[in-house]
Chain A
Amino acid sequence: GESVGLHLPTLSVQEGDNSIINCAYSNSASDYFIWYKQESGKGPQFIIDIRSNMDKRQGQRVTVLLNKTVKHLSLQIAATQPGDSAVYFCAENLLDTGRRALTFGSGTRLQVQP
């Protein structure tokens, strides 16, 4: 069935380096994608989103890239800081269900080494 998954369960980077977190999705009908950050014991925090009519969107220190050809999504974090340590989830909007609920990927834990 439809799924959203991640390539790497854990990513360890040095403080100041750039981080890239990847996500693969299988439903070609999805047209809205979101990245969330979740710290331990807290709810997901919206980071950035992108619609399928775009292939790149930038925010503050973050960039999301969408490659619809290979159904791949990535989150780039520039100058990674210790406060960026968390689990990152990608999510997609399954428009074909009509319910507008999100399906989440399995998550990647980002560990920033000082």
Chain B
Amino acid sequence: GAVVSQHPSRVICKSGTSVKIECRSLDFQATTMFWYRQFPKQSLMLMATSNEGSKATYEQGVEKDKFLINHASLTLSTLTVTSAHPEDSSFYICSARTQGGNEKLFFGSGTQLSVL
């Protein structure tokens, strides 16, 4: 099946710093990628939809200036958590959608962010 690579898998940072998370579709092109956040023992919550070559679409309540999304190519989307705070600590997961008549979503392995 299609492979989505997410990096890093784990990051610990100090409060106030910025962290960049990369999501790559390794064997297919993805015009649309999605970023989710998951708190412990909870479900995945959609943060934003990343569109190649255009601005991301953010869900209600998600600060676009805090969670910067860039989708500069058909195989790469990045999420940058700016001025991270401890409450931003969470598991961040990206997904990419294959194209064509039988579209499927595949997920990255996730990034565990811990802000001290």
Q: Give the residue name and chain of the A residue nearest to B104 (CB).
A: A46
Please state if B107 and A45 are interface contacts (CB–CB under 8 Å). Answer: yes
* Residue B93 interfacial (CB < 8 Å): yes
List B residues 96-116 near A (Cβ within 8 Å): 97, 103-110, 112
Q: Is the CB of B107 within 8 A of A43?
A: yes
Q: Number of B interface residues, CB 8 Å?
A: 25
Interface of B is mostly: strand
How many chain-A residues does the 8 Å CB contact rule pick out?
19
B residues neighboring A (CB under 8 Å): 1, 4, 6, 32, 34, 42-46, 49, 57, 91, 93, 95, 97, 103-110, 112
A and B contact pairs by CB, cutoff 8 A, 18 listed: A36-B107, A41-B91, A41-B110, A42-B109, A43-B93, A43-B108, A43-B110, A44-B93, A44-B107, A46-B106, A89-B43, A101-B34, A101-B46, A102-B95, A103-B46, A104-B45, A107-B42, A107-B43
